[in-house]
Amino acid sequence: MKITRKQLRKIISESMYDPKHGMKSLEEPYKSKIMSTLDNPDASPEDQKQFHHLADTVSDYKDPRPGMPDDSMVGIKAQQAGYLKNAKYQIATYLPGFLNLPEDMIEGVVEFVFLSKNPTLHINLDDDMLEEELGEDTYRKASMYNLYTLPENAEIVKIVEDYRNNSKSYDVKFYNMYTPTCLGVNPFAKLDPYINPNSGFASHRGGDPQTGYFDGFYEEYKKVTTEKSHIIDSYIFDQAFIEMMRDLRPDHDEQVVN
């Protein structure tokens, strides 16, 4: 069953049941000690499991949903699985063939789009497209110090700066992706195909979100998409992704990097 974007956002942000209700109602010092671990994106899976069990014991956790065990960690995972099941169909309307990706990749992208905290798209302003719209040398006049400081270029500098500072007000055709970021663990970092837990470089051990987006997600997406333009031109794919974020995650931020 397909649900509207508004319904989907409401399901995700306003769940009728919170599996963390027991631990959130704990008294100190239990609450702060337990929640500091459970809310820590860098906590190991084993620590997460142990502190969930500790919280369930201290709060005498009971899950009222039929068929669900009295285990808050299981409850949270089941709840998120329900979100993911519906959310992936919404993404597929923007990225044809998305549902043919490996399940772990689908989950990673859905997690970023719908569940990440303070998601930000760091994007590039396409100078060729800008000059096609505003005239030759527009970008250069608004970007090179010896040109943008000239009084005769003041108006064009003002216009281009608005494209940079208010990107959501302009068509996605003027932008392409640099990297997606968010607070906590970035789901795209987990899609980095070059992750090496034994690497001497921290970014290689935990994954790099930019590499995960381009070398992980996009490279796999090209193999399954039914939209040929997304294969031929990565900018068109980027623009579809940006448009999707604007529609499905209107609270996201955009930062132009050039």
pLDDT band at 197 (very low <50, low <70, confident <90, very high): confident
Contact between 115 and 147 under an 8 Å Cβ cutoff? The reply is no
- Mean pLDDT in the chain? 83
CB 34 within 8 A of CB 26: yes
Domain range annotation of the chain? 1-93, 97-136+164-258, 137-163
Q: 44 versus 210: which is more confidently predicted?
A: 210
Residue 43, φ and ψ in degrees, nearest 5: -65, 140
Average the pLDDT over 139-160 and give the result.
92
- Of 4, 193, 2, 40, nearest to 105 (Cα)? 193
Confidence of residue 10 (pLDDT cuts 50, 70, 90): low
pLDDT at 16 over 50: no
For 191-249, give the DSSP string. G-TT--TT-SSHHHHH--HHHIIIIIIIHHHHHH-S-HHHHH-HHHHHHHHHHHHHHH-
Give just the sign of the alpha carbon dihedral 245, 246, 249, 251. Answer: positive
Higher-confidence residue: 131 or 34?
131
85-137, pLDDT tens digit by residue?
Answer: 778 999 999 999 999 999 999 999 999 999 899 999 999 999 999 999 999 99
Using a cut of 0.75, tell me whether the model's pTM lies above it: no
**194/213 Cα distance (integer angstroms):** 12
Task: Return the structure tokens found at 136.
Answer: 């030759």
Predicted confidence at residue 23, as pLDDT, reads 62
> Whose structure tokens read 């193999």?
223
29 preceded by a cis bond (ω within 30 of 0): yes
By the 8 A CB rule, do 124 and 175 touch?
yes
Residues 6+ apart with CB under 8 A from 174: 125, 126, 129, 130, 133, 163, 167
Portion of the chain with pLDDT greater than 90, in percent = 56
The closest alpha carbon to 19, from 44, 66, 57, 56, belongs to: 56
The more confidently predicted of residues 190 and 7 is: 190
Q: What is the pLDDT of residues 218-252, one digit of tens each?
A: 999 999 999 999 999 999 999 999 999 999 999 99
Residues contacting residue 233 through CB under 8 Å, at least 6 positions apart: none
- Please indicate whether residue 181 or residue 185 has the higher confidence score (pLDDT): 181
If you ran DSSP here, which 8-state letter would residue 85 be given? H
SS3 state at 68:
coil
User: b/e per residue, 248-258, with b = 16+ CB within 10 A?
Assistant: bbeebebebee
Q: Which two tokens stand for residue 219?
A: 């490279």
Query: Do the Cβ atoms of 249 and 119 come closer than 8 Å?
Result: yes
End-to-end CA distance of the chain: 42
pLDDT for the residue 81: 65
- Contact between 8 and 87 (Cβ < 8 Å): yes
